Amino acid sequence: MEIVSVESSSYRRGVDAARETRPARADEVDGLLADWARERPDLDVSPLAVLSRVHRLGRHLDRARSAAVAGHGVEPWEFEVLSALRRAGADGGLSPGALLRSTLVSSGAMTNRLDRLEAAGLVARGPNPVDRRGVLVRLTPRGCAVAEACLVDLVAAEDALLAPLPPADRERLADLLRRVLGPLEA
């Protein structure tokens, strides 16, 4: 595997191009990159320029999501399940397996989550009319109302996080992230 130096011409062109479009104010990641360039000039740390920002943004997003749903008495993981069920339709439902695929948790974690949501009166489990051996999880009217209210606050919080970006930049960023996520989630 060839190690690309931060002094390579293609890397340098990329850094120079980024500087031309980068706001004058540096962020924490710029400092991290400068430190690594000084300490490990033999190593191309350019992936950190993107993924360290994605990681930091993820932390801010987690906080914003937690705050948005907390006002409705639920945790982010609860909203994740309620949201998946709400997207299935107000009168629809999903099997626990479909919820697993949607939320990327283990079957044991999903069982625990459904138990807690059912005890809170937000979901109900019943027989699956298509497959009598299976179970279908549905939102209760209260669960549907909570999911709807959380969604409104969540969208407002996420819109605030993206406020520095005009719509065209948001679309471009979504397209780029889709290209990175696609192979990982295939």
Domains of the chain, each with CATH number or no CATH: 1-43 (no CATH), 74-152 (1.10.10.10)
- Over its C-alpha atoms, the chain yields an Rg (Å, rounded) of 22
Residue 44, phi then psi, degrees to nearest 5: -80, 105
Amino acid at position 128, single letter:
N
The predicted structure's pLDDT at residue 24: 54
The predicted structure's pLDDT at residue 10: 42
Query: What 3-state class would DSSP assign to 138?
Result: strand
pTM as predicted: 0.77
- Structure-block tokens of residue 1: 């595997």
CA pair distance 165, 180, nearest whole angstrom? 20
Stretch 69-86: mean pLDDT, rounded? 95
